[in-house]
Amino acid sequence: MKYILLIFTLLFSACSIKNYEHVQSKIIIIKSPKIKFADLGYIRNSDKAVELELFVAGKVIEKISVNHLICVSDGCMSKSGFNKDYLSVAYPDDTLQNILLGHEIYEGENRVKTQDGFEQNIEDENVNIVYKVSSNTIFFKDRKNKIIFKIKDTK
């Protein structure tokens, strides 16, 4: 019994340790039906995982980890489950990860290169998205679903 407990502990603790290659402090604004936040945050990422840590008055109030699942303080869920509960069911699974990293959304649909980044405007019966990425700012706004992400460098 002791050995099973030891193996179980090692297995799950090894899975939870992440070595993030990039750590950036940002000013983060999030407005969605379930999350409202405007303050300092950290975005940590490696090739396969992203973590968003949100602070208020120096205390962590929420940590969102994106890997093959998305984990928040309420527990872990699939990416489509997260979209359904926190954003919009109409979004592709990797939308949150792509926004946090400043990558294209919707497989680059309507992508227009700008002087220091790109813009995407996506509109259909489920979404009305303006998404702009520049060298120091990421801006995502969906008018139909009342969702805003603004991520700006602290410098």
Residue 11 falls within a domain, yes or no? no
Mean pLDDT of 20-31: 87
pLDDT at 9 over 60: no
Residue 3 falls within a domain, yes or no? no
- In the chain, the number of structural domains is 1
Residue 131 falls within a domain, yes or no? yes
Q: Are 96 and 103 in contact (CB under 8 A)?
A: no
Residue 9 falls within a domain, yes or no? no
Q: pTM for this one?
A: 0.84
Residue 10 falls within a domain, yes or no? no
For residue 15, name the pLDDT band (cuts at 50, 70, 90). very low
Q: Would you list the DSSP string of 51-107?
A: EEEEEETTEEEEEEEESSSEEETTEEE-HHHHHHHHS-TTS-TTHHHHHHHT--SGG
Which range marks the domain in which residue 61 is found?
19-153
Residue 94 falls within a domain, yes or no? yes
